[in-house]
Amino acid sequence: MRFDYDVIVVGGGHAGCEAAAAAANLGAETLLITMDMTKYASMSCNPAVGGVAKGQIVREIDALGGQMGIITDRSTIQFRMLNRSKGAAMWSPRAQCDKALFSSLWRKTLENTPHLKLWQDTVNQLIVDTDGEQPKVCGVRTQLGVEFKGRAVVLTAGTFLGGLMHVGRNSAEGGRAGDSASHGVTEQLVALGFEAGRMKTGTPVRIDARSLNLEQFERQEGDEHPSKFSFLESVEAVEKQVPCYLVYTSPEVHDTLRTGFADSPLFQGLIKGIGPRYCPSIEDKLRTFADKEFHQLFLEPEGADTNEYYLNGFSSSLPWQVQVAALQQIEGFENVDIYRPGYAIEYDYFQPTQLKHTLETKLVENLYFAGQVNGTTGYEEAAAQGLVAGVNAVRKGRGESPFVLSRDEAYIGVLIDDLVTKGVDEPYRMFTSRAEYRILLRQDNADLRLTPIGQKIGLASAERVVNFEQKKSLVELLKNFVQKQGVAPCEISDYLKSVNSAQLTQKRKLSDLLIRNEIFIFDLIEHFAPLKNFITKHNIGREVIEQVEIEVKYSGYIEREKAIADKLKRLEEIKIPANFDFQAITSITIEARQKLSRIRPTTIGQASRIPGVSPADINILLIHFGR
């Protein structure tokens, strides 16, 4: 056995799995330590991947050479592209997954990844060398007393550090239902000077679908033409889809839930952690939206071959008897049986302003944090951080330049910059509104944006690069055709009339038609033979066709956003020395000096995004640096 590694990853959740796979695929000797080898990347909460902004992150992970998109596609039981009625920047892929299959595919992937070893145990201590100028991590010690040496350690402990679960007035230690909590690491890091806090999340009851009358619910089917996350052609989209269902609460349900408020750990102060604003428990909804008579819920299968269903939107820590009684008030749930009640869970996290953009900690060298320990929520956000931390742990050990994505390159760049620059005061969840350049950061072009970067850092496989080059070539080919091919008025008159679009008075380019809001490329294909023949001749697929339509239809917006990004990027080029004394600049505000000294931005651009640092403060810094 080996007890000395280049990279040690602590935790086998979504962050840990991506970190370990990335490090090993870069050729580093890697060890992944997890409490339970049957639960790699376990979907502890919702058995789904993607969603608004989260879907963009998964496509970015895939474009860079990560694993989440591939494994999601191979375990998908329903696929939907959300926000189709809105602009292309808002389109977000989401897949309902077979929960057990997703986890088993991750295990199969990890077990067959060269340079990666697995160990089942609990890490309760980091081995830190404190003799130098700065503490440096050099390994871990486990509950079983085993020591592993490592040149870098990536901590991805999720909800397990000090995990405490609540159901009514009953509480129990644990990282999730059925798994124990972890102690020792938080206390050690706090002693080293880290700022730690508590956060809270929750999950709904799990329901036996055999006890429900599914015919009484509104079915929610998947897309007619389901897409997928991975850009690899060898990974196929789902064929046989499973429906979800829409369910609604009622005043009677709400009245029953309120009977448990006196025993609610959330309302009675038993829970100290801060919960997610954008995914509140059902009792929190009743308090915040007291005037609403009903709330929409989503009944979602946990797999293709199981009776276990997840009631999305009904997260709760109320007494289990109240949860069951309230469910029985929902039409179709009168005879409901549950597998386990919903519960809340509190856990330790570390303020992410203590990190560099590489996700290495500022206080301890070669120690990286990724996932919920950084105050985030969501599988996708965790996986993205894991990939970045894993890559950087390897690159630093080899003396290579840091791997950092900017805000105009990827949602992953927005995510990490927000964490490192602004910190968190509640569980951080990614939204499209957090990105200034969301027209540039679409889900459809993630491969064109990031595959060259994945190739540069060594994660993109030969197959991925070939797929990328082929798609890029086809996009340019079809785009050129659309921009050059003329359309005579008589060739398109009937179609324009059918969609109430102005008739042509002279020959125009296809691109001129596509810019119109009411004109869509797939309709044009059916009504304009030269376009249909060109696509058939070159065997151009649906994904390429959609991307060309987006680039043509939104070309003006895209170019404008690129110009804005380029202008603001100049601030990122003005570096701030690592040991710069912000306190010495007395002409900026006291708050700005305090925030700048605590977060220690590396560029003027990052400094400008720190809450409490005003434009006037930035102007003074620019003058100081001679700009």
CA separation, residue 456 to residues 18, 61, 84, 460 (Å): 18, 15, 33, 8
The residue from 343, 360, 375 where one domain ends is 343
538 and 615 in a single domain? The answer is no
> Is residue 600 over pLDDT 70?
yes
CA angle 294, 177, 186 (to 5 degrees): 110
> Is residue 626 over pLDDT 80?
no
Confidence label for 332 from pLDDT (cuts 50, 70 and 90): very high
Contact 415, 57 (CB under 8 A): yes
pTM to 2 decimal places: 0.93
504 and 431 in a single domain? The answer is no
351 and 339 in a single domain? The answer is no
The continuous run of DSSP H or E covering 530 comes out as helix 529-537
Sheet with 244-248, edge to edge strand ranges = 218-220, 244-248, 296-301, 308-312, 206-208, 338-340
567 assigned to some structural domain: no
State pLDDT tens for residues 162-195. 999 999 999 999 998 889 999 999 999 999 999 9
165 assigned to some structural domain: no
How far apart CA 417 and CA 168 sit, in angstroms, is 37
527 and 413 in a single domain? The answer is no
64 and 195 in a single domain? The answer is yes
Where is average pLDDT lowest: 242-256, 273-287, 591-605?
273-287
Residues 6+ apart with CB under 8 A from 132: none
Residue at 160: amino acid letter: F
* pLDDT at res. 570: 85
109 assigned to some structural domain: yes
CA separation, residue 477 to residues 393, 511, 529 (Å): 40, 14, 17
State pLDDT tens for residues 555-599. 999 999 999 888 888 888 889 998 899 999 999 999 999 999 989
Residues 6+ apart with CB under 8 A from 285: 292, 295
> Is residue 377 over pLDDT 80?
yes
Mean pLDDT for the chain?
A: 94
Tell me what percent of the chain is helix, strand and coil, each rounded to the nearest 5: 40, 20, 40
> Is residue 280 over pLDDT 90?
no
DSSP 429-480: ---GGG-TTTTTS-STTHHHHHHHHHHHHT-S-HHHHHHHHHHHHHHHHHHH
358 and 500 in a single domain? The answer is no
- CATH number of the domain that residue 39 is part of: 3.50.50.60
How far apart CA 266 and CA 286 sit, in angstroms, is 13
> Is residue 627 over pLDDT 80?
no
List the structure tokens of 505: 């008075």
Q: Which of 207, 220, 170 is nearest to 326 (CA)?
A: 207
Q: Which of 456, 476, 177 is nearest to 341 (CA)?
A: 177
167 assigned to some structural domain: no
| End-to-end CA gap in the chain | 57
State pLDDT tens for residues 35-47. 999 999 999 999 9
* pLDDT at res. 340: 95
List the structure tokens of 394: 């390897």
Residue at 205: amino acid letter: V
Query: Which ranges in 121-234 belong to alpha helices (H)?
Result: 185-191
DSSP 147-213: EEEEEEEEE--TT-BT-EEEETTEEEE-SBTTB--B-SHHHHHHHTT--EEEEEEEE--EEEGGGS-
Residues 6+ apart with CB under 8 A from 620: 585, 587, 588
* pLDDT at res. 177: 87
554 and 586 in a single domain? The answer is no
Give the range of the structural domain holding residue 116, as residue numbers without chain letter.
Answer: 4-158+185-199+347-457
* pLDDT at res. 299: 97
How far apart CA 141 and CA 149 sit, in angstroms, is 9
239 assigned to some structural domain: yes
The residue from 293, 308, 343 where one domain ends is 343
444 and 480 in a single domain? The answer is no
The residue from 457, 486, 510 where one domain ends is 457
* pLDDT at res. 251: 96
How far apart CA 309 and CA 47 sit, in angstroms, is 9
Confidence label for 219 from pLDDT (cuts 50, 70 and 90): very high
Contact 331, 350 (CB under 8 A): no
Which three-class secondary structure state does DSSP give residue 526?
helix
Where is average pLDDT lowest: 107-111, 197-201, 211-215, 273-277?
273-277
**Average of per-residue pLDDT across 154-168:** 95
* pLDDT at res. 276: 81
231 and 270 in a single domain? The answer is yes
State pLDDT tens for residues 516-566. 999 999 999 999 999 999 999 999 999 999 999 999 999 999 999 999 888
315 and 369 in a single domain? The answer is no
> Is residue 5 over pLDDT 90?
yes
175 assigned to some structural domain: no
* pLDDT at res. 270: 87
Residue given tokens 């499209």 in the structure block: 432
178 assigned to some structural domain: no
State pLDDT tens for residues 386-402. 999 999 999 999 999 99
169 assigned to some structural domain: no
432 and 495 in a single domain? The answer is no
List the structure tokens of 601: 């931005």
- CATH number of the domain that residue 604 is part of: 1.10.150.570
148 and 42 in a single domain? The answer is yes
Domains identified in the chain, total number? 4
- CATH number of the domain that residue 494 is part of: 1.10.10.1800
High-pLDDT (> 70) share of the chain, %:
100
